[in-house]
Structure formats: C-alpha cells, structure tokens
Amino acid sequence: MLQISPNMLSVADTAPTLQRARGDGRIAVKSVGGVNRLAVLYQDGCAKIRLPRAGPGAPLEAVLINTAGGLTGGDQMMWSIAVGEGAGASVTTQACERIYKTTGPAARVETRAEVAAGASLAFLPQETILFDRSSFERSLSADLAPSARLLVVEPLVFGRQAMGEDVLAAHYRDRWRIRVGGRLVHGEDVALDGDVQSLLGHRAVANGARAIATVLVIGSDVEAQLDAARGIIGDDGGASVWRVGGSGKLLARITAPGSYELRRRLIPLIALLNGRAGLPKIWTT
C-alpha cells in the first residue's frame, strides 16, 4: 500500500483555487435625429446588459445584470457608460446586488461614466445588500462636459430586515470622483470596518438605521428642486445645494429602518429629480 506522509503534501496541494466571478460590461449611447440610439454594447463574463423598449424621445434605458447571482470575496465587476452629445440614458440594475460572506479578499465593483455636452445620464442601481462578514469595495468615477447632467442614486442595505438578518461585522469601501470639464466637483470616501452594527448606531453615521442612500445631481436646475427634495426626504435625512465652479450640485442623504422604508423615499425623489424620464420601469416590476 502506498504510504503518503503529511510532509509530502504542499500548501498548493491542500488549498484549492476557488472560482471567482468576472464581468465587464460597456455601453455607449448616441443621439440620431433626436432619438437615443445604442452606439456600443460589450459584454464579457457574468456582465450582461439588456435594453427595455423606451418611448419616443425617452432616454435609452439599460439594465445591468450580474448573472453570477451576487458577489463574494475576489469577484470583480466593471461597468463603463458613455453618453454622446445631446443624448440621454437611464441605467439601472436588474435586482438588488447581494454581497455575501467571505473569508477572502473583497468583492469589487468599478463604474466609469462619460457624459458629453448637452447629454444626461441617470445612474440608478437598485439596492446593494451587505450580508454579515461580507467584504465589498466599489468606486464610481464620472467625467462630465460643462453642459451635461448627471443623477446618481446609490442605496445600501445592511441585511434583510424581513429575514431577521443582522450585519455584525463587515468591510465596506465606497469612493466617488465626479469631474466637470476636468475639474473635481464632488469627491467622497466612505469606510466602514469591523463592528458595523455599533458604527451604524452612532448618530453621526446612521443613528441606528439599517438602510442608507446617497443621491447626487449635477446640473443647472438643482436649486429649483431643493425644497421639493427636502419635502420628500423629511426627517429621514437631508439635502443641500452648492455651486461649484459654475456647476450646480444637489447632494442628499437618506436613512431608514429597512429597504421598504428607504424605497418609500427614493421612488418619489427619483421621479422628481429625473424629470420626464421618471423612474426606470424595472424599479416597479
């Protein structure tokens, strides 16, 4: 009988290589005779993009899909969005993105956007749900022409309240860099590590909320929308407006006990800030 000594087994023999999800999706939109048309569509790995039919004059609507069904340690997704001169696009996700428990490296999602002169982009992903002991890092970078408009909504939920899930510990990073005409007009870095449940309990963080959202608008009409936005948000957050180098900026933060209450604020707020385009169809199906 063949005898194998424990010393004969190397680390490479005992530690399997785990399969990781990889996705790269790219989309570009152009305006042809006042109609928004698809210019580029690229899909690789678990990244898929679907295009629901939009009405005449409506922004081109794109739905980002991760066919892996969630993300865990070491998974990587890349999304690129380009909106050509005078065009309009509304980009959302098929469902909530789930970030599962891991003992390995962080899952990573990177989103890049370019919005040309007179163009508009609404980036409206549905909620990201963090599970206990998950590790997640994401980044958003956008380059806008001075006359472009951008609306971004990023909702984040710490466990599903209806399922009795608690997020006791997690690793979370979120980095935004928004530029207009090459000038930085909005930058932020969010970092939550370790005992997330205690961190969320601090008044300056989330005051005990389990769901939060950041809403950002870059455009010339933001001052006119501020009062209505504050009316929708109520006591569950706040909103402010600035002028940064000639660009108007509206920034809102919302907190809620759970995903359902968060959506009650986000749906009318998106409908307000997104003008005639309103809410993506998939948010209500």
Alpha carbon distance 88, 82 (integer Å): 10
Alpha carbon distance 244, 187 (integer Å): 12
DSSP assignment, residue 272? H
DSSP assignment, residue 39? E
Distance between first and last Cα of the chain: 63
Predicted pLDDT of residue 19: 75
pTM exceeds cut of 0.85? yes
* Packed helices 222-233 and 259-273: angle between N→C axes, nearest 10 degrees: 160
| Span 224-260, pLDDT tens digits | 999 999 999 999 899 999 998 888 999 999 999 999 9
Where is 211: in which H helix or E strand? Answer: strand 211-218
Residue type, 34: G
Rg value, the chain, Cα: 21
Using DSSP bridges, classify how beta strands 97-99 and 128-130 pair: parallel, antiparallel or unpaired: parallel
Residue type, 233: I
10-residue averages of pLDDT along the chain (285 residues) = 53 61 96 94 97 86 94 95 97 94 92 98 96 96 97 93 78 97 95 89 85 95 94 94 91 94 94 88 79
Predicted pLDDT of residue 5: 55
Predicted pLDDT of residue 285: 63
Contacts of 217 (CB under 8 A, 6+ apart): 149, 150, 151, 152, 225, 248, 249, 250, 251, 273
Contacts of 16 (CB under 8 A, 6+ apart): none
Alpha carbon distance 184, 83 (integer Å): 19
Contacts of 57 (CB under 8 A, 6+ apart): 34, 35
Phi first, then psi: give them for residue 131, nearest 5 degrees. -100, 165
Strand pairing partners for 248?
243
Predicted pLDDT of residue 103: 83
CB atoms within 10 A of CB 168: 13
Of 115, 182, 101, 181, which is closest to residue 152 (Cα–Cα)?
115
Using DSSP bridges, classify how beta strands 247-256 and 237-244 pair: parallel, antiparallel or unpaired: antiparallel
Q: How far is CA 42 from CA 47, 93, 103, 269, in A?
A: 9, 16, 32, 31
Predicted pLDDT of residue 1: 52
Predicted pLDDT of residue 201: 85
Alpha carbon distance 277, 90 (integer Å): 8
Tokens at residue 72, please? 């865990």
